[in-house]
Amino acid sequence: MSIIVTGADGYVGWPTALRIAKRTDQRVLGVDNLARREWVASVGARSATPVASIEERLAAAEEQGLSNLSFVEGDLTDRPFVDRLLAVHEPAAVIHTAAQPSAPYSQINGEHANETQHNNMQATRNLVWGLHEAGLSDTHFVETTTTGVYGAPEFPIPEGGATMENDGERDEVPFPAMAGSWYHLTKAHDAANLRLANTQFDLPISDVRTAIVYGAGTDETRADDRLGTRLDFDYYFGVVAHRFAAQAVAGYPLTVYGKGEQRKPFVSLEDAVEGLARLALCDPDDRPAAHTVYNQTTRAISIVEIAETIADVGAEYDLDVAVEHVENPREEDETHEMEIEREKYDDLIGGGSVDFETGMDEVLEAMTEQADVITAHEDRFLPDVLEDRED
């Protein structure tokens, strides 16, 4: 038996594969088509930190004693490839992190929207149908979807379904898809397909709705420079916290629209990886249910808190970071306090281990060491100069 990690060349997938391999004697197989490297390059961007080739990564992992980790390059939208993969390796678990993960990239034009939806949804369908038709109905299928499927409702977001009431009758239903981009909608569709796969195929499902992930690495990636994960900071693939950090390193003020008190859910890379590793290796009897939704977040953070935290931490790196409030060009509630339940995820990981300040300290340390890279690509993250097109 083995454990398959898809998207194993990615920001979350690579350190997840390393951690699982470190904790088990089972074979851990990483699968990726290496498209993330191409997507980032296509928008004129790059990782702040160097990203070694997959061959260099595997050699470094071997030197760390992870001889059970291997890799195969392949496209999960190719059904014959998926069928061969599952038939040969017969996985006990599939940790599915592979996706085109950028909402802005999916919004560039119709071609990018089509690419995103085909890539993400076809891969998931191929995997769950492949498991079913291969007779692997006991394989635990774990996918990182996103908290973005929830939108920004004015009530606390449940960890799973919702209660609907109509004409005096009540019932539990899946949370309605309120995604705000062509990317986020792929994960809403995936969540529905995963529920159906559990119902029709009896496939055990963990739908891990991942929040905005911050951080520069984990213990495993810090063991050797070649094991480092990527750290994107551009408009398309860098999360807001990493873009703000890049602005600070490049010497620009951090611009907050309006009050900036609206909150978004966040999770550290360390805590995201820990949750996925535990799900990969957990005893089936310890799962809450055959179909479980986890809200993979440890806290909600306001935009202004992000900026002020980076300014405070930046001072430790001799960065003079100003936080500027400007009139908000968007029609949005600047004080929306997102509340999101996370009891099941907290139980899974035993509570968060890397707070936002510590995570941003790691990010700023990594980015200040690569300041030349940041400044050379400032047109990829500064909001006033970015052009929403590929150069």
Catalytic residues: 146, 183, 187
Residue 312, Cβ density class (10 Å: 0-12 exposed, 13-18 middle, ≥19 buried): middle
CB of 238 within 8 A of CB of 307? no
Residue 330's SS3 state is coil
| Half-sphere exposure at residue 255, Cβ-oriented, CA atoms within 13 angstroms | 11
Closest CA relative to residue 213, chosen from 314, 329, 311, 97: 97
Helices (H), 282-327: 303-315
Q: Which residues pair with 257 in a beta bridge?
A: 326
Distance between CA atoms of residues 136 and 2, nearest Å: 12
Name, in order, each residue with C-beta under 8 angstroms of 340's C-beta and a sequence gap of 6 or more: 147, 150, 156, 157, 159, 265, 295, 297, 300
CB of 191 within 8 A of CB of 145? yes
